[in-house]
């Protein structure tokens, strides 16, 4: 750390912050990393900021002091950039402060990972209640932020989503970068809002790689005089023009632009809600329409999990439909759950000719066990289940994945057609035109009791695209015949946004010999009763829509009682339990 080649330049723009400046400068001179210079740029302050700066400069030779006429924060930072001597540069705002290890964490991340920029996270200090606040993230958001080291193009593709989750990616502070990547880049002094984003997006274009440290090293002071808390129409226009430049540049260099277009839409309509009469902002609605015609989607890896047991007569049709998907970036996990027929040999054929197919053999443990085995080995950002006696349309993955991206959804539910093996014909129930319906937060879990009776779309786990992170603490119940009903609602409840697409993409085979779906047994009735009672209990405890769930539960219990009677199971203990429950309900 004592090597002069590793000098870090810290630029601090200052304007009328004498109330906070000492705390800021104390935090800098007490850094655990000692080899730095501090460039204090006084941008025409009329308070005691100059006196404080001179005081610190006199007692610490690492501090250099500059005075200039007031020209704004960009001009102050530019003066600093023109005078740095270090190989590395960082910015600290004069009303904020930094942790003692700020430089050390960023420097080590930059050097150890051999990157051009290292970014750390922050915590907020609220002036009103004197409390610190750390950003809160869902499991899915934490997964998104867990980028570690990425190349420039990988980072640029992720940038809209990352900057939406955490402003550390597009603000001036909480990052350390090589002086070499700045080249002749300066802040645009004509921009009155969003200058940080404009500068750093251009800086990111100059780098080869970036590293993110999910460690709070910067303390951001929240107070009402902050520019970010006082947005004017001119600020909104400035911001949207910056995003226009960014989007055009992204398209010019060939980075996937879907997330940028969606980010642009979100910002524009938010600013229009603040300034509905702004003709300048309204003019950008046509720009969005033009850009939407040239959208390019990312191609994340999608995991397809196929549990297999004694389906040699149907397996090729299933695997052919997967192999010929229009979306190509897939991995197919074939989980042979102890099949005694030739299913294993058929799987090996596909593995031999298509490197996207992977074959696993295990002892028979049932459908849930096979699915869980696949989930544990899935590497995709999203995953889906296809039963090995069914098949899917060629656009099955593509349609659901594009809906997930377009709606920023963690779950996409498609519809299906049935194929009756005995009658040798299709049963199709999707007649209406295509539409999409998106559910926010607990909206889906509250509507689920009314949606499930409509068809199997919301009941079964096949025909659905799930974010892989939803399964971090959820698995299918091993040995249960109602595994989908026991699992789906938990995944729906965990998802922050889910989308239904009204399109038949999955073909569900019915009426084949040996299908457990067609067989009513004591075990099925036991599992079904346990499932509906457990669900009702959770709905009631969580305060979800327990009224409609009660009706669903009662309907399922009545159906179970009728099924037991129709299949000659009146002498069983489970029939007695159904009868007992219905007697209590009907007579009270």
pTM value is 0.64
Candidates 405, 378, 404, 408; CA nearest to 465 is 404
CATH architecture of the domain with range 4-229 = Alpha-Beta Complex (3.90)
SS3 559: helix
pLDDT of residue 4: 43
**Comma-separated ranges of CATH 3.90.550.10 domains in the chain:** 4-229, 302-518
SS3 372: helix
- Report the CATH fold assignment for 302-518: Spore Coat Polysaccharide Biosynthesis Protein SpsA; Chain A (3.90.550)
pLDDT of residue 514: 55
Please list the ranges in the chain whose pLDDT falls under 70. 1-5, 224-230, 297, 512-518, 588
pLDDT of residue 406: 86
Q: How far apart are CA 126 and CA 60, in angstroms?
A: 30
SS3 260: helix
pLDDT of residue 500: 97
pLDDT single digits (tens) 175-227: 999 999 998 899 999 998 999 999 999 999 999 999 999 999 999 998 765 54
Q: Which two tokens stand for residue 582?
A: 């219905």
pLDDT of residue 300: 86
pLDDT single digits (tens) 558-588: 999 999 999 999 999 999 999 999 999 988 6
Give me the residues paired with residue 388 across strands: none
Given a contact cutoff of 8 angstroms between Cβ atoms, the answer to whether 478 and 366 are in contact is: yes
Q: DSSP labels for 419-435? A: EETTTTEEE----SPP-
Q: DSSP labels for 534-548? A: HHHHHHHHHTS-HHH
Q: How far apart are CA 29 and CA 37, in angstroms?
A: 9
pLDDT of residue 513: 64
């Amino acid at each position: 750390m004592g090597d002069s080649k590793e000098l870090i330049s810290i630029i601090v723009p200052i304007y009328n912050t004498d109330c906070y400046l000492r705390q800021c400068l104390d935090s800098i001179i007490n850094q655990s990393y000692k080899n730095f210079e501090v460039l204090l740029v006084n941008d025409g302050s009329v308070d005691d900021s100059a006196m404080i700066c001179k005081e610190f400069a006199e007692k610490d030779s690492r501090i250099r002091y500059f005075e200039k006429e007031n020209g704004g924060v960009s001009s102050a930072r530019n003066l600093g950039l023109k005078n740095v001597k270090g190989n590395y540069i960082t910015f600290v705002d004069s009303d904020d402060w930094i942790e003692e290890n700020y430089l050390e964490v960023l420097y080590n991340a930059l050097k150890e990972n051999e990157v051009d920029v290292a970014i750390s996270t922050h915590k907020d200090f609220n002036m009103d209640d004197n409390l610190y606040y750390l950003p809160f993230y869902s499991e899915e958001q934490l997964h998104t932020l867990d980028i570690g080291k990425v190349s420039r193009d990988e980072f640029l593709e992720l940038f809209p989503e990352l900057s939406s989750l955490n402003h550390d990616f597009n603000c001036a502070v909480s990052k350390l970068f090589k002086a070499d990547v700045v080249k002749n880049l300066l802040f645009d002094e004509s921009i009155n809002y969003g200058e940080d984003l404009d500068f750093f997006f251009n800086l990111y274009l100059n780098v080869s790689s970036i590293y993110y440290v999910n460690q709070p090293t910067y303390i951001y002071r929240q107070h009402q005089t902050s520019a970010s808390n006082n947005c004017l129409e001119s600020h909104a226009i400035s911001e949207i023009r910056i995003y226009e430049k960014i989007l055009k540049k992204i398209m010019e260099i060939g980075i996937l632009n879907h997330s940028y277009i969606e980010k642009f839409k979100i910002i524009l309509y938010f600013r229009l809600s603040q300034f509905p009469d702004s003709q300048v902002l309204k003019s950008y609605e046509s720009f969005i329409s033009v850009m939407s015609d040239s959208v390019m989607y990312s191609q994340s890896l999608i995991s397809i999990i196929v549990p297999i047991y004694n389906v040699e007569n149907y397996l090729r049709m299933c695997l052919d439909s997967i192999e010929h998907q229009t979306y190509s970036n897939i991995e197919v996990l074939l989980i042979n759950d102890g099949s005694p027929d030739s299913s294993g040999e058929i799987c090996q054929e596909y593995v031999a000719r298509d490197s996207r197919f992977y074959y696993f053999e295990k002892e028979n443990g049932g459908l849930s066990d096979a699915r869980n085995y696949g989930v544990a080995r899935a590497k995709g950002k999203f995953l889906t289940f296809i039963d090995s006696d069914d098949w899917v349309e060629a656009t099955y993955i593509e349609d659901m994945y594009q809906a997930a991206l377009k709606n920023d959804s963690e779950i996409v539910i498609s519809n299906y057609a049935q194929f009756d093996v005995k009658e040798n014909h299709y049963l199709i129930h999707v007649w209406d035109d295509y539409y999409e319906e998106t559910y926010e937060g607990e909206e889906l879990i509250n509507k689920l009791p009314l949606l499930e009776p409509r068809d199997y779309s919301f009941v079964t786990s096949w025909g659905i695209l799930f974010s892989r992170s939803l399964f971090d603490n959820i698995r299918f119940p091993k040995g249960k015949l109602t595994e989908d009903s026991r699992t789906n609602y938990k995944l729906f409840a965990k998802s922050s946004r889910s989308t239904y697409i009204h399109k038949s993409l999955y073909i569900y085979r019915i009426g084949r010999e040996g299908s457990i779906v067609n067989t009513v047994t004591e075990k099925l009735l036991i599992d079904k009763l346990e499932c509906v009672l457990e669900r009702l209990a959770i709905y009631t405890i969580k305060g979800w829509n327990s009224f409609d769930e009660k009706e669903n539960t009662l309907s399922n219990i009545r159906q179970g009682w009728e099924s037991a009677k129709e299949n000659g199971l009146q002498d069983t203990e489970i029939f007695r339990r159904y009868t007992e429950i219905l007697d209590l309900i009907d007579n009270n």
